[in-house]
Each structure stands twice: as structure tokens, then as C-alpha cells.
């Protein structure tokens, strides 16, 4: 399957490991990624916070570029980019809004393709059995809290992916990789998003609660699919610890890193050493002899009936 | 407790403007409070999101635009997902925020400065890079020291590029911003 790839700006900086591991797992799973040539920033939170038409124009430029590629589907790893791209596409179904966007662009926008997350394509194009069959190194011993954050599932009308209160796609994926998934009620709570830049208090508290709960439920790591969530939970973990008056020391992986690890990919494709809270002790313990191994992996009860909702075309 | 004189404070056009700009029917809000109950920003707000919805519905422009909450909203869309009347509440918050900016109600300059620093970077290069955005933001506001505390960790991990990636089509992107600025002036 050929995918037009929108990496997003953070993939060139703070989430380099997400970009690199995404490319590696896609290759390993048989998806061909081609970067959208000369892609530009979607405007991120500042764009849509200031003006929907401005955000729409910044996103539309990229979708228009993607529409000229012969790809089966447009994808991005970043939920924040995806939210902007999807909102632009959906809002532009209204001719009045499209006119406002077109006024800002050199040329009127053509019909735009629907963008998807890399995660959605993986979990909808491949069955969990197919993925499990490719696992070379089961993630036994990892107790994972799956943290989805806001943007991947909300607002549901626009994102059209998984259950917006209790998503299961990452849970099911991690179970297929042999990890134990702990029940985690804060799956879709907000981490404080980009407000951390100007208001440390809000982000430290909200992220701190997520980490505290993950620990209380027995997780030894958290998995994320969002560069902003990952940064708040990992790079800013020390601020969260300060706000909550306790130590967490929880490694925060991108799901692509754990998927790559289970598929037996090389560390150069996973870039584990980019994580601020070091995962090395935990990963080393996975290689330890059998008696240290955790009980059989199991997901939350609702696993079965959530796995096949929604569909990427 | 503050007293609001409805006959004086109400601006009957205001509700229409908000509905038109957001595309949402605020008149269907029946104050169930679901949005407020799930709002992660609530504990930091000076007006709860359902109160802001009520203010907009009643045409209480000062109340709806002159609060700090608009600038603390995390755009998480929990409110939109849980509203029984399918109002995109987060979208309304965003609309109110852009109205507040246009009408000079800006209550929290630091966040505004961060957004501007970010978008200037996009306008110049076509993409952003964190180091540049943060430096610009700190110069504008003299704030952001808590971020600076994070910089060494980010640097050590090679996560802070010092030069932006400039795309070929950056002039094209700059024109988007130019037209946007012209339209607004
Ligand atoms: S959830 Fe909807 S109906 Fe209920 S108070 Fe909020 S906006 Fe009004
Ligand atoms: S989008 Fe804003 S108002 Fe709505 S729940 Fe999230 S933080 Fe609260």
C-alpha cells in the first residue's frame, strides 16, 4: 500500500524518534511511505487558535500537494497535525468556508483527500493476528498504560476513529505484541497540551495526574501516539513530579518504538536513547530469564467489541 | 457577588454573531453542565465553560469575551464530545477567543505571544523549529524560564535543532500570512 506521508514539524526536532520509528515499522509492515514534497507546517495549535481560515489554508496547501501524488491514502503520525488536516478538509465542505480559505491561497483548492493517522491505517489494514504473527520479540514483562490523549479521538465527528471515551486500538495492538496492558481510566484525559509553554502549572498538574494514575494501576511504562503528549509526560516529567510531590520514573514510549522492538528492528530504527526518562533498565529486564516474566497479557474487558470500529478507505 | 443588569448588559446581536461565526446553535444549550464536568481546564478557569455558553446565549458580551478561561482552554474537545445537544463547545470557545482578540479583550498576552512567535516562524520558513520559537517567545515576553529548565535535557537528546528547515515553497506560505494580515486590517 502506498501512503503519502506528512511528517509534521516536531518529527524534525522533539519527536525525531517517532518519525524514524514510524518510517521503520511501516517498511517492516509493508507500507510504502512517500513524503509529501515540500510540505509545510499545518499551523498547529497557534494556527487554529487564531483563525480557522488561516489554519485551513495552511493545511489545505499540504492536502492539495498530496492530491497530486498517486497514493492510496494520506497519513501523518501526529494527532495534532491530523486534527488540523481533518478539520480543514471537513470545514471546506462548506462553500462559504472554502471561499475564505481560497482567498488566502495562490490557487483555489482542488478536491482534497481524507487524511488518516498512521495508527489507524495499521490497525484497520492489518488484523491483530497478522501483527502477532510478525512478532519476533514478545514484549513480556512490559506493563503498559495506553494513553491516547485528546486529539486522536476527539471531536468524534471529525476524527472518526475508535471509541472516543474508551479507545482500544493501542490496547489491542500492545496485547498482540505480547505486553500486558493495565486498565487505565485516564486514556483520553488532556495532558495540558501546549499550554505548558506559557503555564507550567496547568500542564504539570494535568500530566502529573496521568502519570500518577498509570503508576497506581501498575504500569511500568506509558505508550503514546502523540508528540505533544509524549513531550509533556517525558521531557516535562520532572516538572510533573515536582507538582505532585512524588517520583514517577516512567518511560514514555511511542507506540511505534514498541512495535518496532517487538518486530525485532534495530535500535537505530527505534532511537530509544532519545527518551528523556531512560527505558534501558526496563528493557534490559525484559531480556532477563523466565522467572521474572509477567503473567499472561490481557486487555480490558471491552477489547473484542471495539476492535473493528470505523474504517480507513 | 457581581450583579449583572440584564436590560443594560445584553447585546441581542451578539448571540447571532457567535452562532454565525462558529456555525453552532448555542440556543439549544440547556445548561446541563456536562461540558464543565469534564473540562480539564475548569480548575484553572475564572468562568466555567457552561457559564460562558450561558453568557453568550444571553448576549452578555463582556462576560463571554472578557474572561481568562478562553485563553486557558486546552482545545481538548471533551466538552464537544459530551454535549447532549451536539454543540461543538470547543469550537465556540475558539470562536469567542478570536472575537476577543479582534475586539481588544486579550486577557493573557503570553499565550498570544507564543502563538505569534510560532506563526512568524512558519511564515518565514514554511516550517517551525522549537528553539527559534522559544527564543522569540522569551524575547517578547521575558517569560518562559520554566521551559529553559527543560532545554538542557532536550539539547542532550539532540531534540533542539538550531536552524529551521526552510522549504522551497516558503514564499507561497508567506503569501498566505500576508493575505490573512491584509484581510484583517
Ligand atoms: S454540555 Fe452542551 S447543553 Fe450542556 S451545558 Fe454544556 S453546552 Fe450546554
Ligand atoms: S476544549 Fe476547552 S472548554 Fe472544552 S473541555 Fe477542553 S479545556 Fe474545557
- Enumerate domains of chain B plus CATH numbers: 14-103 (1.10.1060.10), 109-184 (no CATH)
| Span(s) in chain A for CATH 3.40.50.11810 | 128-286
Q: Which three cell numbers stand for residue B125?
A: 520558513
Contact B173 A40 (CB under 8 A): yes
Q: Which residue intervals of chain A bear CATH 1.20.1050.140?
A: 2-119
Q: Say how far residue B88 (Cα) sits from the centre of its chain.
A: 15
Distant-in-sequence, close-in-space partners of A186: CB < 8 Å, separation ≥ 6 = A147, A209, A210, A213, A214
**CB spacing of A104 vs B180 below 8 angstroms:** yes
Of A109, A111, A113, A115, the residue nearest A56 (C-alpha) = A109
Q: Candidates B36, B87, B95: which one to mutate for ligand 1, based on the most atoms within 8 Å of Cβ?
A: B87
Using a pLDDT cut of 70, give the percent of chain B over it: 77
The band of B155, judged by pLDDT with boundaries at 50, 70 and 90, is low
Give me the residue from A41, A45, A206 closest to B127, CB to CB.
A41
Give the Cα separation of A270 and A256 in Å (integer): 8
DSSP assignment of A35-61 equals: EPTT-----HHHHHHH-HHHHHHHHHH
Evaluate: CB of B33 within 6 angstroms of ligand 1: yes
pLDDT at A308: 43
Q: How many CB pairs below 8 A link A and B?
A: 164
**Mean of the per-residue pLDDT values for chain B?**
84
Taking residue B118's Cβ as centre, other Cβ atoms within 10 Å add up to 28
- Cell numbers representing residue A312 in the block: 480507513
Contact between A189 and A202 under an 8 Å Cβ cutoff? The reply is no
Q: Starting from the CA of residue B27, give the closest ligand.
A: 1
- Report the run of H or E that residue A180 belongs to, with start and end: strand A180-181
The predicted pLDDT at position B24 comes to 94
pLDDT of residue A195: 73
Asked if the ipTM is above 0.90, the reply is no
The CATH architecture to which A2-119 belongs is Up-down Bundle (1.20)
Grid cell locating A116: 488518516
Residues in chain B: 185
Q: What tens digit of pLDDT does each residue of B73-90 get?
A: 988 999 999 999 999 999
Q: Give the model's pLDDT for residue B108.
A: 61
pLDDT of residue B124: 83
Per the prediction, chain A carries an average pLDDT of 90
d(CA A289, CA A153): 39
* Residue B95: band (very low, low, confident or very high) from pLDDT cuts 50, 70, 90: very high
What's the pLDDT band for B161 if we cut at 50, 70, 90? low
Residue B96's Cβ-count burial label (10 Å; 0-12, 13-18, 19+) is: buried
Peptide linkage before A121 cis (omega within 30 of 0): no
Nearest-angstrom CA–CA distance, B100 and B106: 6
* CA trace torsion B154, B158, B163, B168 (10° rounding): -120
pTM of the model: 0.87
User: Would you say B3 and B9 are in contact if contact means Cβ atoms under 8 Å apart?
Assistant: no
Q: Which one-letter DSSP state was computed for residue B59?
A: T
Where do runs of H (alpha helix) occur along chain B?
6-9, 12-22, 34-37, 49-58, 61-65, 69-72, 78-82, 89-102, 109-125, 130-141, 145-148, 151-156, 170-184
**Alpha-helix runs per DSSP H in chain A:** 16-29, 44-50, 52-67, 79-91, 95-104, 118-125, 128-134, 156-159, 169-176, 200-216, 227-233, 237-244, 255-262, 267-270, 280-286, 303-306
Confidence band, pLDDT 50/70/90 cuts, at residue B71: confident
Distances (CA, A) of B180 to A101, B98, B115, B183: 10, 14, 15, 5
Closest-CA residue, ligand 2 atom 6, reads: B76
Segment B47-66 mean pLDDT? 96
Report pLDDT for A198.
65
Q: Identify the pLDDT of residue B138.
A: 61
Rounded CA gap, A173 and A129, in Å?
10
CATH-assigned architecture of domain A128-286 = 3-Layer(aba) Sandwich (3.40)
pLDDT for res A194: 67
User: How many C-alpha atoms does A266 have within 13 Å on its Cβ side?
Assistant: 4
Calpha distance B95→B44 (Å, rounded): 20
Say how many CA atoms lie within 13 Å of A41 toward its Cβ. 31
pLDDT means over runs of 10, chain A (313 residues): 92 88 97 95 86 93 94 93 95 94 95 96 97 96 96 92 96 98 95 73 92 97 94 92 96 98 96 95 82 48 44 42
Interface of A with B in 197-256 (CB under 8 A): 197-202, 206, 235-236, 239
Per-residue pLDDT, A197: 63
Joined together, the cell numbers standing for residue A277 give 526518562
Amino acid at each position: 500500500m502506498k501512503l503519502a506521508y506528512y511528517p509534521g514539524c516536531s518529527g524534525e526536532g522533539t519527536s525525531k524518534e517517532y518519525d524514524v520509528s514510524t518510517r521503520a515499522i511501516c517498511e517492516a509492515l509493508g507500507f510504502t511511505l512517500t513524503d509529501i514534497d515540500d510540505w509545510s507546517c499545518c499551523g498547529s495549535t497557534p494556527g487554529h487558535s487564531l483563525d480557522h481560515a488561516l489554519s485551513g489554508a495552511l493545511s489545505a496547501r499540504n492536502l492539495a500537494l498530496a492530491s497530486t501524488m498517486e497514493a492510496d491514502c494520506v497519513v501523518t503520525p501526529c494527532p495534532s497535525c491530523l486534527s488540523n488536516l481533518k478539520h480543514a478538509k471537513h470545514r471546506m465542505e462548506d462553500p462559504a468556508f472554502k471561499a475564505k480559505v481560497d482567498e488566502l491561497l495562490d490557487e483555489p483548492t482542488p478536491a482534497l483527500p481524507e487524511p488518516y493517522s498512521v495508527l489507524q491505517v495499521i490497525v484497520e489494514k492489518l488484523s491483530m493476528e497478522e501483527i502477532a504473527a510478525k512478532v519476533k520479540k514478545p514484549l513480556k514483562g512490559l506493563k503498559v498504560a495506553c494513553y491516547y490523549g485528546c486529539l486522536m479521538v476527539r471531536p468524534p465527528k471529525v476524527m472518526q476513529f475508535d471509541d472516543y471515551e474508551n479507545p482500544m486500538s493501542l490496547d489491542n495492538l500492545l496485547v498482540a505484541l505480547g505486553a500486558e496492558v493495565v486498565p487505565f481510566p485516564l486514556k483520553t484525559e488532556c495532558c495540558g497540551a501546549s499550554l505548558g509553554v506559557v503555564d507550567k502549572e496547568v500542564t504539570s498538574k494535568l500530566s502529573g495526574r496521568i502519570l500518577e494514575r498509570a503508576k497506581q494501576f501498575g504500569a511500568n511504562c506509558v505508550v503514546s501516539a502523540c508528540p505533544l503528549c509524549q513531550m509533556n509526560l517525558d521531557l516535562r516529567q520532572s516538572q510533573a513530579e515536582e507538582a505532585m510531590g512524588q517520583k514517577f520514573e516512567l518511560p514514555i514510549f511511542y507506540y511505534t518504538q514498541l512495535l518496532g522492538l517487538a518486530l525485532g528492528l534495530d535500535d537505530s530504527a527505534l532511537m530509544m536513547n532519545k527518551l528523556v526518562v531512560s527505558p534501558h533498565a526496563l528493557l534490559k529486564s525484559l531480556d532477563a530469564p523466565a522467572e521474572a516474566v509477567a503473567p499472561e497479557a490481557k486487555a480490558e474487558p471491552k477489547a473484542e467489541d471495539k476492535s473493528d470500529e470505523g474504517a480507513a478507505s | 457577588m457581581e450583579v449583572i443588569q440584564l436590560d443594560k448588559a445584553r447585546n441581542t446581536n451578539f448571540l447571532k454573531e457567535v452562532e454565525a461565526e462558529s456555525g453552532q446553535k448555542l440556543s439549544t444549550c440547556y445548561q446541563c453542565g456536562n461540558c464543565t464536568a469534564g473540562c480539564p481546564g475548569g480548575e484553572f478557569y475564572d468562568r466555567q465553560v457552561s457559564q460562558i455558553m450561558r453568557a453568550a446565549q444571553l448576549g452578555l458580551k463582556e462576560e463571554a469575551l472578557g474572561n481568562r478561561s478562553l485563553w486557558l482552554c486546552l482545545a481538548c474537545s471533551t466538552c464537544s464530545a459530551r454535549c447532549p445537544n451536539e454543540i461543538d463547545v470547543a469550537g465556540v470557545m475558539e470562536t469567542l477567543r478570536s472575537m476577543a482578540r479582534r475586539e481588544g479583550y486579550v486577557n493573557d498576552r503570553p499565550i498570544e505571544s507564543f502563538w505569534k512567535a510560532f506563526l512568524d516562524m512558519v511564515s518565514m520558513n514554511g516550517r517551525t523549529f522549537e528553539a527559534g520559537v522559544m527564543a522569540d517567545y522569551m524575547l517578547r515576553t521575558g517569560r518562559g524560564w520554566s521551559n529553559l529548565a527543560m532545554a538542557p535535557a532536550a539539547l542532550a537528546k539532540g531534540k533542539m535543532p538550531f536552524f529551521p528547515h526552510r522549504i522551497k515553497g516558503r514564499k507561497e506560505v508567506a503569501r498566505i500570512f500576508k493575505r490573512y494580515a491584509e484581510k484583517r486590517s
